[in-house]
Structures are given as structure tokens and as C-alpha cells.
Amino acid sequence: MSSFKRARTKEQFEERKEKIVSIAMDLYDKDGYGAVNFSTISKLTNFTRPAIYSYFKNPDDILIYVLGKDFCSLNRYLEDKLESTDFLGVAEFTDVIYNGIISYPRMLKMLSINYSIIELGCTEDELITFKSYIMRTFELLGLYVSKFFSHVSEEQKVDFEFLIFTFISSVYIITHPSQRQTKAIKRNNDTFTVPAFEHLCKEGIKAIVKTLANN
């Protein structure tokens, strides 16, 4: 019989919620999306499945909660780095965005591999909260594009926001092929080399930022 007792304070509630999240992310990091389930989390936390349900309605709610936290942290980083700065050129603006994005490899992995299925599986409330963080990211990118590249039109600014998001949603999976994918690639071209993640991320962001300076 489980020895689980209901959290009696806000601190206990948050502590247990973060324990569930921590275990779920360990499972995700080790064995991928399919490993994150309430049955396994229950065994590893000693929380009953109904108790876990009081924190998250399904495993996708846990994953989108983590994605949201990462975007929220990224947003704070962008504000900290860009709000008090009066001038940045292409190279400096690229560095700020790159250094922020590269700090969240799990976020990039989840966006590349599991983003659509997580959004389809999570509850509406969690999806709405998550989208608020993403919309804030778009808002901040647009704000600082206007600040540092004032000649750019509204249409060009929107294009930039979507290009950045499209790029960060695909760069991880391109640079982290599975063993099976790598074997298939080598069967077709044994000299093919997958570009380094950090290099491709930096060069891709730089190319997108340069479109602002060229307009």
C-alpha cells in the first residue's frame, strides 16, 4: 500500500510537482517520449497515479509544462540581455539569440521531435499557457528587431520571427540523427558528415539575422 499523503501546503505541492517533472524528464532523456507515463512515474516517486493526476492530467501536460518553463526562461534571458542595450549589429544580435537558444538543448529536441504530438495530447489549459510563452517570445523578438533594425518593415519583422521559430524547431533533429538514420545515410553516401549542432545553430541564426541588415 502506498504511503503517499496529500500535500498540505503550497510549498509541499510545488515540491511534489517538481519531483514528478524531474522524474518525467529523466525518463524522457533516457528513453524518449514513449517512456513518460504515469505508471512508471508512480513507481519511481511513490505517488499514486490518482495523486499524479491531481498535478497533471496526462504525460503530455508534463512535457508541455517543461517546454513552457524553458520558453519563459528564454524570454527572461532575452529581456535581460537586450532591454538595457542601446545598439547591436548583426554579429552581436546573433550572439545573444544563439547563446539563449543553445542553452536549452532539451527544448530544441522536444520541438524537433515531439512538438506536434505533445500539443495534440495536452489539455487545453496547458496549451493556452504554453502558447502565451511562445507568443511572448515572438513579441520580444519583434520588439528588439524594431529597436536594433529600425528600418525593417512590419512584414519583414514577422517573417523574421517565424523564420527563427521554424529554424529552432528543426535544427536539433537534423544534427542528431539516430543510429538507424545514420546507417541509412552512410549506405547512400559514406563520406557524408552531419554538421555540428553548435556550428549549424550559430550559422543558421546568423543567416536569418542578416536578412534584417540586407533589407
Contacts of 54 (CB under 8 A, 6+ apart): none
State pLDDT tens for residues 89-113: 999 999 999 999 999 999 999 999 9
* CATH 3.40.50 fits domain 1-55: no
pLDDT-derived band at 215 (thresholds 50, 70, 90) equals: low
DSSP secondary structure code for residue 9 in this structure: S
| CA–CA distance, 119 with 126 (Å, rounded to integer) | 9
Give the HSE-up count for residue 47: Cα atoms under 13 Å, Cβ half-sphere.
25
CB 172 within 8 A of CB 105: yes
Residue 10 has pLDDT above 90, yes or no: no
Pick the CATH number of 60-214 from 3.40.47.10, 3.30.1330.10, 2.40.128.50, 1.10.357.10: 1.10.357.10
